[in-house]
Structure 1
Amino acid sequence: MKITKHRQKILDALERWFRIHQQGPTLNELCQELGKPPSQKATVQKWLQTMRDIDVQWEDHSPRSLRLLRSKSETPSLQISVTDTLRYLATGMVQWETLELEKRSHVPEALRIGMSRMYLTSLLQKEQAPENLPEFFNWAETSVISWKPAQEIKYLSPDVKVIEDGVVSDFAREWQVSGNDVVAQVQESVLKDVLEYCRGNQLGDAYRAFRLLIIPKPTLHYSEYRQQLRLPELRPLRELLSRLEIYVDMDKLAEDSIYHLCPRCKYVQRQRPDGTYTCRNPWCERLCAISNLQPLPPIPKEKAADWKAVTPGVHLYGTLPGIWEIQLKEELTKLGLHITLWPFIDEFDLLVEFPRKVRWAIDLKDWSSLDEERLRKVQYRRDATETFVVFPDEREEILRIKVVRKQLEPELEGVRLCLFSEIITEAQAILEKKK
C-alpha cells in the first residue's frame, strides 16, 4: 500500500494510543488523537477503510475493536517504564546486599517487583529475560543494555552493569531510591527525571506547564489528557512523558464499583470497610471537613477506563505540595503582585515581585512536623530582598511557628519563617506603604 501522510498519521496515533490502552479507540477518540474535529469522522473512517486488512482491522458493529496488524518482526509498544524497572532492580540489589548471609534467600520487595516488570516487558516485546534468581544474577554481571528494552535509555554506557567484581555496582547505587515505601519512592523519581531533563535543556515553561497539569488535574478524562499533551508548552516533554509512568488508567488504582474523587485534591479516594470513601491523604480529609467542601460527582465503573490518574507517588510528592503553592500564588496575585511559580526551574517555589525592585523568594512547606535539618537546606537568596519559608495556617497548632521561629531563625542565615496568612498581611503592608 502506498504510504500516504494520512496513513502514517493514523499509524502514529494508534501507536500512541496502544502505549496506554489495551482496547482500541472509538472513532471520536481517534479524531482527538489526530487533532481532528468530530465533524471529520467520516473522512477519518474513509482513511481507515483504505488501511483495513493491511495495517488495521476491526469487527463491524463492535465498539473498541480497532487494532493494529503487525508482522511477526514487529513488536508491540512498550507499556512499562524501563527506567522505573531498572530503579526497582537497583534498589532491590542494594537491599539484598545488605542482608545477612542466612537471610539472602528472602527476595526484597523492590527486587521482586523489578524482576516481574522486567519479565513482563520482555514478554510484551518477545525478548528473553531472567525467569529466576540464578538467571537474574547471571544477567546482572553482564551489560545492562544486553537486556534490549534498556537500549531505549539514552546515553546508557554499554559498560554499565548491576554487579561488578562480585559487588553491587556504582550504577545500581546511583539508581536506587531510598525510603520506607519503595513503590512511592520510585514513582516520585519520575518527578526528578522531568526536573533534571528540564534543567538540562533549559525548559522552564515546559516544566511549569507540567506542574500545572499534575497539581490541579491529578485525574482527568482521557480526551482532556490528550488535549493537555498537545499544548505547545508541553511539546518539548511529549517524548519524555510517554516513557515515564506519570498517569495510569484510573481503574488500575482500585477495583471499585464507583469511583469518588477528593473534593480538595481531586484524586481517587479509598473505600473504607464500612463502604464510605476517604482521601488517601488524611490531612486532605481534615481540610475538606474544615472548609466544608462538597462531594464531587462520582465516576461509574463502566466509564473509569476512560479516565487517567497520576500514580500515588506522583500524587503524594507532586500534587499535594503544589496545591498550597498555587493557592498562595493566587492570593498574592489578587494584590496586584507579579508571581512566578517554580522560578529558575524549581530552585524555589514562588518569586514575588513588588514595585521598586522588591523581590521575595518563597519556599512553601506543608509539613506534619518541623524538621530542622531540612529547614537548614533552604538557602538564603542573595538575588532577593527577603527569603521565606511559608507554612499553611492549618499546621500552626502542630508546628507552633510563631513560637519556635525565635529560636530557629538565628540559625537559618537570614531565612524567615512565616504562616500563609502572615505573608499575605506583610505583602499588603508593603503595598500600602509604597502608595
Structure 2
Amino acid sequence: MVTARPAVSAVFFDGEPLVRMIASALFTLSRQRAPRNPVYEDTVQTAFNHLVLRCLRHDVLPPASVPDMVSWAMHRPLHEWPLGLPDDLDTADGFLIDPQTRLPTQQCLEWVISAPDPAAEQYENEVMLGVIQQCRVARSPESYTAFRRLLITRPVLTGTELALLGEDLDLMLLIDTIKRSYEPAPGSYLRDGQYAQCARCKCLLVPIEGGRYRCELDRCRREGYPTIERTLDPARGNGVYQLSRPLRMFITGPGLAETDLEQDLIKKKLQPEMWPNFDAYDLRITLPNKQVWAIDVKDRANPALLARTARAFIPAPPYDQAFLVVPQYRFDEREAYARIFARHVADEVRDRVRLTSDAEFQRVLTRELRRIRRITTVHSTDGGSSNA
C-alpha cells in the first residue's frame, strides 16, 4: 500500500518573489530589538513557510526553524538555495547574511528594496522623496544638498552633534526628518564599551572574532580590515546615533563614490553641480565646448536588479549625454556585470543612458577633454571660433 503524501497548497512562491520574501524577513529580524508575541512577525513566518514548501516540492531537506533559515542565509550562498532563480540573478558568493557580522548583506537589502513592500520603501524611497517634496515646497535646493551631504559624510553622530544640527541654517527645514533618519546605535557594535568608526566611510564598525572589526559596506570590506578613525563612548556626548541601515547602504555608500567623482572633476578644472533640480540625477558638468553631461552614480551588487530599477534621467536640467556610473570593483567582481545589465534594462533606458565603471567614465571624459582642446587649438590657430 502506498502512503499518500500530505496535500499542500497550490498557491506558493518561488524564484524571485520568494527571494524577496526571505530577504524582507531577514531584514525584519535584524531590526527586532526585543522578544515579541508572537515570536515572529507574519512576514517572517510566511517566508519560512514558503521556503519549506518549496523545499518539500523539490525533495530538499528544508530548514527546521526560522533560526535555521537564518543559518542558511549565513552559510549558503544564494545559488545553493532551491529557489529556481535565473542565472543572471544567481551569484556564486551571494550570501544574504554576513557570517562574520551576522547582519543582512547589501545583496539582501537590494532584494528588499526591489520588493513592493511599504516597509522597504520607507527607508530609501519615502524618506528621500519626502525630503525632496519638502525642499521643493520651500524652494530650498540648498537644504536638500546639505541633507544629502550630511547622510554621506556623517552617518554617525553623537547625541550632542545631532542636537546641534538644528542650528545649521541649511538643515533647520529638515531637522525632524534628520532626527527620524538616525537611530540609537545598538549594543552589538560595542567593544570594551566603545564604538569604532570606519576611517573610510565613517560608519560604525562591527566587532568580530580575533579583536578585529568588519565594515558593513561592500567597498570597505573588499579593501580589507578597516582602519579606525575614532572611538566613541556612548556615556559621553549624550549617546551615539547612526543612520538607518538602508540609508547607510544606499545613500552613504554610493554617495562616497559621488563625492569622490566630484573631487576628481574639480581637479580637471570642471565645476560639477551636485544633485541638480532636487536630485534629478547626481552630478551635472558643463564641458569647455558647452556640452552638458548628466551622471548618476550607483553602487549595486546585483546588475539585474539595478537594470530593472534604472530609469531615463529627468530632462530638467537639460543635458547632452547621460551616464550611469558604477564603481569599478563591481565589474571586477562580476565580469558579466555590463552584459547582465544590458539584458534586463528597458530599451528606452538602454538607448538613452550609458552604463560605465567609474574608471571607464574617467577615461571617456579625459579623451573628450583632449578632443575639445585639440579642436579649440586648431580653431584658435585658424582664427576661427574657440567653441567646438
TM class by shorter-chain length? 0.5 to 0.7
Query: Where does residue 433 of structure 1 map in the other structure?
Result: 371
| Deviation for aligned residue 1:326 | 1.0
**1:130-162 CA-partner distances (Å, limit 9, x unpaired):** xxxxxxxxxxxxxxxxxxxxxxxxxxxxxxxxx
The structural deviation recorded for 1:210 is: 0.2
Q: Within the alignment, does 1:246 sit opposite 2:246 as a pair?
A: no
Q: What does 1:266-415 align with in structure 2 at a 5 Å threshold?
A: 266-288=202-224, 294-303=227-236, 305-371=238-304, 374=307, 377-379=310-312, 383-400=318-335, 404=339, 411=347, 412-415=350-353
Higher relative contact order (CA 8 A, sep 6+): 2
Q: 1:300 to 1:372 in 2, by over 3 A?
A: closer
Distance across 1 between alignment mates of 2:116 and 2:162:
31
Residue aligning to 2:79 = none
- Distance in 2 (CA, whole Å) between partners of 1:410 and 1:107 is 38
Distance 2:162 2:119 in 1: 24
The TM-score, its normalising length taken from structure 2, stands at: 0.58
Counterparts of 1:210-249 in structure 2, within 5 Å, are: 210-242=147-179, 245-249=180-184
Letter in 2 for 1:286: R
Residues 377 and 406 (structure 1 numbering): CA distance in 2 closer, same or farther, change over 3 Å? Answer: closer
Q: Are the aligned partners of 1:340 and 1:350 in contact in 2 as well (CA < 8 Å)?
A: yes
Distance 1:414 1:192, change over 3 A: closer
- Mapped to 1, the partners of 2:250 and 2:366 lie a distance apart of 31
Q: How do residues 60-99 of structure 1 correspond to structure 2 at under 5 angstroms?
A: none
Q: What is the Cα deviation at residue 386 of structure 1?
A: 0.6
Change (3 A) 1:322 1:371: same
Q: Judging changes above 3 Å, is the alpha-carbon distance between structure 1 residues 226 and 320 closer, same or farther for their aligned structure 2 residues?
A: same
1:262 to 191, 198, 221: 198
Q: Cα–Cα, structure 1 residues 228 and 429, in superposed 2: closer, same or farther, change >3 Å?
A: farther
**What value does the CA root-mean-square deviation take over the aligned residues?**
3.8
Q: In the aligned structure 1, how far is the partner of 2:275 from the partner of 2:366?
A: 22
- Structure 2: any 5+ residue segments left out of the alignment? 1-23, 26-37, 46-112, 374-388
Shift of 1:196: 3.1
Residues 391 and 203 of structure 1: CA distance in aligned 2, closer, same or farther (over 3 Å)? same
**CA shift for structure 1 position 278:** 1.1
> Which whole-Å CA distance do the structure 2 matches of 1:201 and 1:300 have between them?
38
Structure-2 change in CA distance of 1:376 and 1:319 (3 Å): closer
Deviations 1:21-57 (A, max 9, x none): xxxxxxxxxxxxxxxxxxxxxxxxxxxxxxxxxxxxx
Equivalent residues of 1:380, 1:413 under 8 A apart? no
Residue pairs, 1:23-38, within 5 angstroms:
none
2:204 alignment partner AA: V
Secondary structure in 2 matching 1:348: coil
Q: CA deviation at 1:354?
A: 1.4
Separation in 2, partners of 1:198, 1:410: 31
- Aligned pair in 2 of structure 1 residues 375, 384: CA closer, same or farther (>3 Å)? farther
Q: CA deviation at 1:240?
A: 4.4
d(CA) in 1 for partners of 2:324, 2:219: 20
Query: Where does 1:119-138 land on structure 2 (aligned, <5 Å)?
Result: none
2:128 corresponds to which residue? 191
Assess if the C-alpha contact under 8 Å between 2:307 and 2:341 holds in 1: no
Q: After superposing the two structures, state which structure 1 stretch, 295-304 or 255-264, moved more.
A: 295-304
1:310 to 1:343, Cα distance in 2 relative to 1, 3 A: same
User: How high is the sequence identity, in percent, across the aligned residues?
Assistant: 23
**Aligned equivalent of 2:143:** 206
Letter in 2 for 1:432: R
C-alpha separation in 1, matches of 2:117 and 2:224: 26
CA deviation after TM superposition for structure 1 residue 276, in Å: 2.6
- How big is the shift at 1:213? 0.5
> Unpaired segments of 5 or more residues in structure 1?
1-90, 93-104, 113-176
Instruction: Indicate the SS of the match to 2:272.
Output: strand
SS at match of 2:173: helix
Is residue 222–residue 308 contact of structure 1 (8 Å, CA) maintained in 2? yes
Distance 1:180 1:239 in 2: 26
Q: Aligned-pair distance for 1:180? A: 9.9
Helix, strand or coil: the match of 1:338? coil
What's the CA shift for 1:318?
2.0
3-state SS of 1:215 partner: helix
Shift of 1:395: 1.2
